Structure 1
Amino acid sequence: MTADIVIPKDIATAVIAPAAYAEDAPALEAFRWLRANNPLGRAELDGVYPFWVVSKHADILEISRQNDLFHSGDMPTTFTTIEGDRYVRERTGGSPHLLRTLVQMDAPDHPKYRLLTQSWFLPQNIRGLEDRIRGIARAHVEHMASLGGECDFVRDVALTYPLRVIMEILGVPPEDEPRMLKLTQELFGAGDPELNRSGAEGRDNDAAMLELQAVIADFFMYFKQLTDDRKANPRNDVASVIANGQINGEPINDFEAMSYYVIVATAGHDTTSSSTAGAVWGMCQYPEAFAKVKADPSLIPGLVDESIRWITPVKHFMRSATADTELRGRKISKGDWLWLAYPSGNRDEEVFEDPDAFRPERTPNRHLAFGYGAHLCLGQHLAKMEMRILWEELLPRLKSLEFAGEPARSAGAFVGGPKRLPIRYQFA
């Protein structure tokens, strides 16, 4: 491998380090360097399989649209160490996945499993949920109004609002929502000692993997009971669709049903929570953005898209090449592993003017935060609708908005966003 292809070790380390995303700047600086100097570079670090870092918007699109050439399921779909991969394969009989969700699937399975629940998340169907979602949004605005002009927006609004919406669609009762929230944070926050189950930092690989397995087992235990109930008493909810779903005329097995629940129950709220909090963070950091959206409510859809781009809750997915190919003049070999760096694509200077700024009026806003191609996020329309409705209810009542302390992001190289956002505000 020629030297100019290999990424400097400090840059490659910043790409994979959970803490680099907590502080935001180290990861974004590494990606900025890569886009300028080595937009399709190869990381070669001790203890991990070599992988390509795809840092440019155009290349991420190119890979995402070629699902036959770049698979999601042949290698781990999220980054792991060689030791972590071996650990999983030993316990799954050779599979690189502890879960088998839509994210880990390729054709022909992926389109069939996606079709099971797809209709629930189409724009024409979620429009019927608008009144119910607006009621949930109003309740959260009233809660915020009752807090006396200061709150932690993550804890008090952003975490619970999307959670309530997706759990209602899924069919999980309100009393179980705290459990779902805690399990989601433990699953996605494994690299953050404030969010993971043990509260530990820098655990060895086996301890971290055991903890992750325990979290997944708790999810499975909960959803097994839900499945049994919905098989006996189907209702008009997504849980009933999954519990009674069939692929090729056969019921889906328990492992795949449980995995399906987990992706809907976690991705269905966590990323929306991060983007919702990101909008408030952006409006506090850029008061002119708050003033513009207050003065012109037609900018609310732009506020939604800009907060999703600016935060980019999903930091990466991995792909592996199914054949020798060429990208950006570089030879990719069959079996090569590629890191799709979404925060980098969403700050690409060739696509976004002044990419680090928070600009609700940004148009067009061709961000990649929902993915692209066959794996385009199933819940994107629901997420945008939830955020739009919340801002329609909250912004007319907000007279002022500012930080009331130091905000903080979670440590995570896979999924993450604001974990603390102390704000001060006045209601009209």
Structure 2
Amino acid sequence: MPNHPTRDDIDFLDGYWYQHEPHDTWKWMRENAPVYYDADSDVWGITRYHDILEVEKDPSTFSSWRSPRPHGDPLPMMISMDDPLHKQRRKLVNRGFTPKRVRDRTAEVAAICDEILDKVCERGECDFVWDIAAPLPLMLIGDMLGFPRESYDDLLEWSDDMIRATTKTDPAAAEKGMLAGIAFREFQLEVIADRRSRPPQSDLVSVLCHAEVDGEKLDDESLVQETLLILIGGDETTRHVISGGMLALMEHPDQKALFNQQAADDAWMERAVEEMLRWVTPIKNMSRSATRDVEMHGETIGEGDQVILLYPSANRDETVFDDPYKFDLERDPNHHLAFGWGTHFCLGSSLARLELKIMFQRLAERMPDLQLANEEPLPWRASNFIVGPEGMPVTFTPSAPMGG
């Protein structure tokens, strides 16, 4: 049995536990029980930065073969695989995320940012999450996958409902998430059938449909799961860094003033984006399965046990980050783990960084006085996976659209 102290306020599978980021509890865990066993969830939590790195470096002991969520079933997607199968699958998807392909999308990202801001700039008010933060990553990842634009509202709703379902204490959310998964699968099977019936195209769904691994093409279920992973990975995470990053700026007026002064400087903005990523850390954890008994900090993690890597805790680790609870846009170095580490390092990290840099530069230029519309508490998503505000009313000085 685990011999460490326990606390009643820890529940690794409850989305409401993550809702407002229990940093005080994570700090206590780092100091008192860095390898913590939550008996109710039957899950081990790893909270220290260097311990998470050690787990990420040792996939032979801490395997990804099951679901990225604890106690899930193995899924036919690369996030649920170990090398060499993971590497083979990742090479196929990577064709859309090479550094050159990402750089080539700079003008497109800038145009989409201006298109989004043009829709609200004359109003002087909007919901920052749904009017500004959510459309950019959805439009980019949807275009990369080759989905029709008229499907984007449905895709956004489905991905939201599936993420909201990642908490054990909300049966209604679980049902909506199941229905969303079914709806996405039906939609995607139609897209797959269309791509299979035509010569190869440049979009990622077509690339995956016509690709071969060891002489075999991916089956329909693998294609559904991989595209769902790309959609949620590209949509949900970047959206929450845009909204969470802007919220942090508004909560730290000195940093927002500095941001408005320096944002046009590309190098400075790239460094600022890294701090937003560290501060927000939208993915709260990933799961691994122990392939053998292993001892860490006096605790024995048993073969088959579920382990979660708590990235927000690692990104506040006092042994790695000076003054970790300070939001500092000029923090350097900043070796955060918001994109994970190792073989499963986020495939879309370069695209996310580009989106964040350009959107925040456009916001500094076009809406420098953007602020919260009121002092009401913001609605916050409950999820044990990806967390962020679900609405953020803001005001700003109206301006003319860039498009005329």
Q: TM-score, normalised by structure 1?
A: 0.87
Equivalent residue, structure 2, for 1:282? 248
Segments of structure 1 that go 5 or more residues without pairing to the other structure are 86-95, 193-200
Change (3 A) 1:264 1:156: same
- Equivalent runs, 1:258-407 vs 2, <5 Å: 258-297=224-263, 298=265, 299-405=268-374, 406=376, 407=378
Equivalent residue, structure 2, for 1:65? 57
Q: What SS does the corresponding residue of 2:300 show, helix, strand or coil?
A: strand
Equivalent residue, structure 2, for 1:425? 396
- One-letter code aligned to 1:60: I
Q: Write out per-residue CA displacement over residues 178-198 of structure 1, whole angstroms, 9 at most, x where no aligned residue.
A: 010000001111158xxxxxx
Change (3 A) 1:209 1:399: closer
Query: 8 Å contact 1:315–1:416 — kept in the other structure?
Result: yes
Q: What SS does the corresponding residue of 1:41 show, helix, strand or coil?
A: strand
State the shift of 1:248 in Å.
Answer: 0.8
Cα separation, 1, equivalents of 2:52 and 2:175 = 32
- One-letter code aligned to 2:340: G
Q: What SS does the corresponding residue of 1:224 show, helix, strand or coil?
A: helix
Equivalent residue, structure 2, for 1:179? 154
Q: Write out per-residue CA displacement over residues 85-133 of structure 1, whole angstroms, 9 at most, x where no aligned residue.
A: 5xxxxxxxxxx14x43221111221111111111211212211111111
Q: Write out per-residue CA displacement over residues 260-308 of structure 1, whole angstroms, 9 at most, x where no aligned residue.
A: 1111112111100000111110110001111111112233112211222
State the shift of 1:397 in Å.
Answer: 2.3
Change (3 A) 1:294 1:203: closer
State the shift of 1:404 in Å.
Answer: 1.4
Equivalent residue, structure 1, for 2:130? 155
- Equivalent runs, 1:37-52 vs 2, <5 Å: 37-45=32-40, 48-49=41-42, 51-52=43-44
Query: 8 Å contact 2:2–2:299 — kept in the other structure?
Result: no
Q: TM-score, normalised by structure 2?
A: 0.92
Q: Point out the more displaced range, 249-258 or 231-240.
A: 231-240
Q: Point out the more displaced range, 278-287 or 35-44.
A: 35-44
1:216 to 181, 185, 203: 181
Change (3 A) 1:138 1:210: closer
Cα separation, 2, equivalents of 1:185 and 1:116 = 26
- One-letter code aligned to 1:77: P
State the shift of 1:224 in Å.
Answer: 0.9
Segments of structure 2 that go 5 or more residues without pairing to the other structure are 400-404
1:53 to 45, 59, 77: 45
Cα separation, 1, equivalents of 2:277 and 2:150 = 29
Matched residue count: 393
Cα separation, 1, equivalents of 2:133 and 2:166 = 21
- One-letter code aligned to 2:130: R
Q: Identity over aligned residues, as a percent?
A: 30
State the shift of 1:208 in Å.
Answer: 6.0
* CA RMSD in angstroms, aligned pairs only: 2.0
- One-letter code aligned to 2:339: F
State the shift of 1:16 in Å.
Answer: 3.2
Q: What SS does the corresponding residue of 1:144 show, helix, strand or coil?
A: coil
